[in-house]
Amino acid sequence: MKETLEKDREVLDEEFGYDPVVLRKQGITANDHRDISSFKRKIIDDRYMEHAINRIAMELSHFLSK
């Protein structure tokens, strides 16, 4: 299962850009101030929403397992 998520993550990160939460956890801050229009374009895409829901579920399950 983890291998599948990792493969999906690689493809979706290339397609949708990097996750700001993951970048923050790695200590990388984005110097560019993104406008909200890029997020509005992403929200319309069903594949991105599925990706985002899976990422949130993964973060929650990691948090709850601690």
Q: What is the pLDDT of residues 22-63, one digit of tens each?
A: 777 777 766 656 667 777 888 899 998 998 899 899 989 988
pLDDT at 11: 44
66 CB-side CA count, 13 A? 5
pLDDT at 29: 67
The whole-angstrom separation of Cα 12 and Cα 16 is 6
